[in-house]
Amino acid sequence: MLLALVLVPLSLAAVAFVIPSERLRPWLLPLGGIVHAGLTALAIALPAPSMFNGYLVLDSLGTLVLGFTGVLFFLCFLYAPGYLKQRAERPNRIFVACLLAFVGTTSLILLSHHLGLMWVALEATTLSSAPLLYFNRGPRSLEAVWKYLLVGSVGIALALLGSLFLAYSALHAQLPPSLLLEDLVRDGPALSKPWLHAAFVLLFVGYGTKMGLAPMHTWKPDAYGEAPGLVGALLAGGLTNCAFLAILRFFRILSAAGEASFAREVMVAAGLFSIAVAGVFMARQRDYKRMLAYSSVEHMGILVLGVGLGGNAVFGSLLHLINNGLTKGVLFLSAANIHRAFASKTLEGTTGAMRLVPASGALFLLGFFAITGSPPFGPFVSEFTILGAAVSAGRYVVVGLFLLLLVVVFMGMGATVLAVVQGTPPAIDESAARRTETFLTVAPAAAFLILVLCLGLYLPPPLEALIRKAALLEVTP
């Protein structure tokens, strides 16, 4: 079952590459989404033993993120055929194959308990997603691809060096060197502390680059701004969460070594800094797709801030991982519809979306309220949980800064969103613009919004239990 989660999407990617029909090929994506969601449900319902001597294990944290990505891929892939039908002038062979390969490599990250294998899977995810950024084939798209690869390569190189430092921390302590997560957690108290600290810093910076934490976020505005909205949703809800999971794996090793306080202070500072940078760049932002990139930078900061605070904030952070990913699905898919309707992603050419494409405009506006932590949506619950944990811990300076930065983000993002959805549409072909809204391009975004609203009103007990178990950061199923 674990191996099928990786091999089936990769096999479908190979099939997509050889199918000659540009019209039929996109329908492999909903098929892949359904199959992956089914395999995910089976893997969760029927826990499988570890494979390949502990290299592949589905623990509680992996189960949580895998379940979320199953929903993310399913809804995004339902959106894909309607989108590609409207972009019939573009060949979709590479696009469809890379999307399916992205599913397989992402699943491998979530199952990997060997840190070397996880590193390889993250790099494979980068390589499978890079061609997706070039779908529009413009000079800015090409620039975004190169920036994505170059900045990501620096980050992944630092992560590799950190992994080697981690192995050497065992060798320096005269222990058998290993990159298996279970071995490192077991031997944690005996690991060399200086080498362990150095390893965590390198790994945090390296995988923080893949997350898009400031100041390692420089690839995000270009990548999210130039990629199709479908790809932006997958990067913001899929790739970044996988990189966050990798950081949590290493944090668990530091906790086992009794050095969690060192990592927590680093994460609190990095989280607040990332939120602050996002707030600055969202103010007076004229490009609404780049605005969504900075929103992702903000919420990556919230994720690491919650883990850094510890206690119940870790639960809030993992809940926010789900809420943020679902809300990004609403925003990116509705923004994609607006972009196609107006043929512009700047405020100069995009006004009055609520009049021209009312469903997408309404979803974009509601997604804004959700992502900025407004009740009754899910992000309000997870952010309030993190805030409450900070108050309980007596971290009043962190509480004040967090609240201030959330207000700054709300004001900066709100100015851009309101400019997009309000006002009078420019003089364009209104009938052609309205044709961008079809059932397949609106329903998935609406489904994301319904899920976000439901999680804000009611957290199912099985999901709450899974999040609480995952928050313990155990490495066993």
What's the confidence (pLDDT) of residue 228? 92
Selection from 332, 304, 319, 295 nearest residue 467 by Cα = 319
What are 92-131's pLDDT values in tens digits? 999 999 999 999 999 999 999 999 999 999 999 999 999 9
Q: What is the pLDDT of residues 127-162, one digit of tens each?
A: 999 999 999 888 999 999 999 999 999 999 999 999
In this predicted structure, the answer to whether residue 338 has a pLDDT above a threshold of 90 is yes
DSSP H stretches of helix in 343-377: 353-356, 358-371
Residue spans of the domains in the chain: they are: 2-471
**What gap in Å lies between CA 298 and CA 147, rounded to an integer?**
20
**How many degrees, rounded to 5, is the angle at CA 215 between CA 143 and CA 164?**
95
Lowest-pLDDT range of 95-109, 261-275, 316-330, 421-435: 421-435
CA of residue 118 relative to chain centroid, distance? 16
Is the model's pLDDT at 201 over the cut of 80? yes
- Closest to 328 (Cα-Cα) out of 269, 375, 368: 368
Query: What is the C-alpha separation between 240 and 279, in angstroms, rounded?
Result: 19
d(CA 144, CA 126): 13
* pLDDT, position 435: 82
Q: Which of 43, 33, 41, 44 is nearest to 75 (CA)?
A: 33
Where do we find the tokens 């066993």?
Answer: 476
CB atoms within 10 A of CB 476: 11
How sure is the predictor about 1, in pLDDT bands with cuts at 50, 70 and 90? Answer: confident
pLDDT digits (tens, 9 = 90+) for 390-409: 999 999 999 999 999 999 99
Give CA–CA dist 66/473, Å, rounded.
15
Tens digits of residue pLDDT in 366-386: 999 999 999 999 999 999 999
Measured CA to CA, the distance from residue 263 to residue 77 in angstroms comes to 37
Residue 477: pLDDT band (50, 70, 90) is low
The whole-number average pLDDT for the span 26-46 is 93
Query: Which pLDDT score is estimated for 26?
Result: 93
Confidence of residue 172 (pLDDT cuts 50, 70, 90): confident
Average confidence score pLDDT of the chain: 92
3-state secondary structure of 51: strand
**Which of 247, 369, 364, 353 lies closest to 308, judged by CA?**
247
Contacts of residue 430, defined as CB under 8 A and 6 or more positions apart, other chains included, come to: 356
Whole-model pTM: value is: 0.95
